[in-house]
Structure 1
Amino acid sequence: MIIFLVLMIVLLVGIIIFQVRVKKQQNASIQYMHQKLQAIINEQSSEKILVPTANQELQQLLIAMNALLDHKQRVLATHRKMESSMKKMLANISHDLKTPLTVVLGYTEMLQLKQSLSEEEQRRLLKGIHSKSLEVLKIIHTFFDLAKLEAGDTDYPMTKINVNEICRKNILSFYDMVTSMGLEIDIAIPEMSVYAFGNEEALDRVLNNLLSNAVAYGAAGNIIGLTVRDDDTNIFIDVWDRGKGIDEYHIDNVFERMYTLEDSRNKSFQGSGLGLTITKRLVELMGGSIQLSSIPYEKTIFTVSLKRMTY
């Protein structure tokens, strides 16, 4: 009996010692997790917390903490990207506003200081002031249009729209300008009308932006085109050219706000860097998508996809 009691006491002491050790290990693990988490937060590092443990509760806690750290890294990366984008946007808008405003100031100073200007010269200067003022206004409107789109503060009611007619109307609005530049136009629009779920005003603006882009960047190919095609569920609008195209390096970035190609800051290709961003937002607003493929001097195609309506 005494031997049995001694064995029980030894067993209980062993269990207590084991539990004390386990408790110390858990406390050490928790302390390490706390210190490591604090270091990761202070240093803004992308490390994870790794602790070997058989305790299921600690394992679940580690999984949750590392998931939160992953989320934090994604949020920080998005924030940094947006911050960089905003800085670039402000720099580009400042550049685009500064140029016409400098011209306006120059013209107004000439009108004020040179009293001997003829009526013809005065009219020329006033015309220049008016033109540059409209340019400034357009840049400001473009900036606020994007802000409204991204804030969801827009009024584009969705309905059934005739894609054929909208495409014909928009390509015809460019016809005189394109032919005066000596460019060919290739139009492939089906005779039978096809209808999509969307908004006519939004699609007008999308096509205007894409056709303007094709004329500005694709003129070297001597041809621009517009094709409408469809399948059982979608309608596709291709706006294409055979100009210098867009390098593969830039393709993933052209729809980002204020992303402009190197020569788009030149006078011949003046742009705010917002046109394609607004285009993408408008297409997405209509429940569609837009894709870009480009082989320089062979074919560059912007493809808008909208949901087809058959009733």
Structure 2
Amino acid sequence: MIWILFGIIIVLFIIIVIQFQVKRGIDRELIYLARKLNSVNQENSDEKLLLVTDNKALQVLLTEINEVLNDKQKLGAQFARTEISIKKMLANISHDLKTPLTVVLGYIETIEHDPAMDGFERKRLLANIHRKTIEIIKQMNTFFDLAKLESGDKEVPLTKIHLNEICKKTILAFYDSVQAKGIEADINIPDNPIYVLANEEALDRILHNLLSNALNYGADGKVIGLSLECVNNDIFIKVWDKGKGIEEQNQDRVFERLFTLEESRNKMFQGSGIGLTITKRLVEAIGGEITLKSRPFEKTVFTIKLKKLIY
């Protein structure tokens, strides 16, 4: 009986020793993870935590920690891009406002320093001041509109819209510009009415931006197009041209705020680089999607996809 009890005691002792060793091993691994995590955070590196272990719980913990680190690194990269973008935007705002303001100041000084200026010349300079002032106001409003759209402060109420009429009205507004540049307009708008739940002001601005873009950067192709079609419950508006287009490496970036490479065609607003960004935000605000496909000097197509209004 005594030997049996002695044997049980030995077995229990061995189990305790094993558990103690296992606990010490887990403690060492946890301390290693804690120190490594602290090092990664202090150095703000992209390194992940690696640990060879058979402990299932530690494996799960390690996976979750690496997921958190991955999210943190993505947020850090996004923050860095945003910070650079904000600095660039401020620089662009300063440049875009400084140039016309300098011109306005020059006109005013000319008038002030020449009291004997004849009425016709004075009237011409005042007209130039008025025109430049309007440009400045438009620039400021465009920057503010983007800020409101990105912060969610700009309301875009949705109503039933007759899309055919919006497309016709917008392309007609460009008739004189198309004629002046000697460009052919290929318009394909069906007679059957197509309705969508959207915002008329937003649609006007979206189409105006895209058609202006096509005219400004696709005029070399001597043709621009606007088409409207309905496929099942999806509506597609396409604005296209056959101009110099957008290189493949830039196509994924043309809607980025302040992406202003010349070939990106995003310099729609005196170098501010927010024309296509505002277009994308407005399309998203009315529940749509916008995509781009471009083959330089063959065809560049901006496609807006909306949901058909079922009634």
What TM-score range do you get, normalising by the shorter chain?
over 0.9
Alpha carbons 1:242, 1:296 under 8 Å: kept: yes
Structure 1 position 268, deviation (Å): 10
Alpha carbons 2:247, 2:263 under 8 Å: kept: no
Partner Cα separation in structure 2 for residue 231 and residue 121 of structure 1:
58
Partner Cα separation in structure 2 for residue 179 and residue 200 of structure 1:
26
Alpha carbons 1:289, 1:304 under 8 Å: kept: yes
Partner Cα separation in structure 2 for residue 57 and residue 170 of structure 1:
62
Structure 1 position 166, deviation (Å): 0.3
- Describe the SS at the equivalent of 2:137: helix
Partner Cα separation in structure 1 for residue 65 and residue 155 of structure 2:
42
The alignment status of 1:78 with 2:69, answered yes or no, reads: no
Partner of 2:281: 281
Which amino acid in the other structure matches residue 301 of structure 1? Answer: V
Alpha carbons 2:234, 2:308 under 8 Å: kept: yes
Partner of 1:10: 10
Structure 1 position 264, deviation (Å): 8.2
Alpha carbons 1:239, 1:302 under 8 Å: kept: yes
1:242-257 to 2 correspondences below 5 Å: 242-257=242-257
Structure 1 position 2, deviation (Å): 4.3
Q: Which runs of 4+ in 1 moved over 6 A?
A: none
Partner Cα separation in structure 2 for residue 264 and residue 17 of structure 1:
69
Alpha carbons 1:264, 1:270 under 8 Å: kept: no
Structure 1 position 117, deviation (Å): 2.2
Q: Cα distance 1:23–1:264, how it changes in 2: closer, same or farther (>3 A)? A: closer
Partner Cα separation in structure 2 for residue 183 and residue 261 of structure 1:
25
Structure 1 position 115, deviation (Å): 2.5
- Describe the SS at the equivalent of 2:308: strand
Structure 1 position 263, deviation (Å): 6.8
Alpha carbons 1:216, 1:269 under 8 Å: kept: no
Structure 1 position 135, deviation (Å): 1.0
Structure 1 position 114, deviation (Å): 2.5
Which amino acid in the other structure matches residue 219 of structure 1? Answer: A
- Describe the SS at the equivalent of 1:177: helix
Structure 1 position 244, deviation (Å): 0.9
Q: Cα distance 1:264–1:174, how it changes in 2: closer, same or farther (>3 A)? A: same
Deviates more, 1:85-94 or 1:273-282: 85-94
Alpha carbons 2:268, 2:274 under 8 Å: kept: no
Partner Cα separation in structure 2 for residue 271 and residue 77 of structure 1:
25
Alpha carbons 1:264, 1:271 under 8 Å: kept: no
Structure 1 position 79, deviation (Å): 0.9
Structure 1 position 5, deviation (Å): 3.6
Q: Cα distance 1:273–1:52, how it changes in 2: closer, same or farther (>3 A)? A: same
Which amino acid in the other structure matches residue 152 of structure 2? Answer: G
Structure 1 position 60, deviation (Å): 2.6
For normalisation by structure 1, the TM-score amounts to 0.94
Which runs of no fewer than 5 residues in structure 1 stay unpaired? none
Structure 1 position 280, deviation (Å): 0.6
Which runs of no fewer than 5 residues in structure 2 stay unpaired? none
Partner of 1:167: 167
- Describe the SS at the equivalent of 1:239: strand
Structure 1 position 28, deviation (Å): 0.7
Partner Cα separation in structure 2 for residue 150 and residue 269 of structure 1:
18
Alpha carbons 2:187, 2:225 under 8 Å: kept: yes
Partner Cα separation in structure 2 for residue 276 and residue 139 of structure 1:
15
Partner of 1:210: 210
Structure 1 position 57, deviation (Å): 2.8
Deviates more, 1:223-232 or 1:60-69: 60-69
Partner of 2:105: 105
For normalisation by structure 2, the TM-score amounts to 0.94
1:168-187 to 2 correspondences below 5 Å: 168-187=168-187
Q: Identity of counterpart residues, as a percentage?
A: 54
User: CA RMSD, aligned part only?
Assistant: 1.9
Partner Cα separation in structure 2 for residue 160 and residue 297 of structure 1:
37
Which amino acid in the other structure matches residue 143 of structure 1? Answer: F
- Describe the SS at the equivalent of 2:63: helix
Partner Cα separation in structure 2 for residue 170 and residue 10 of structure 1:
91
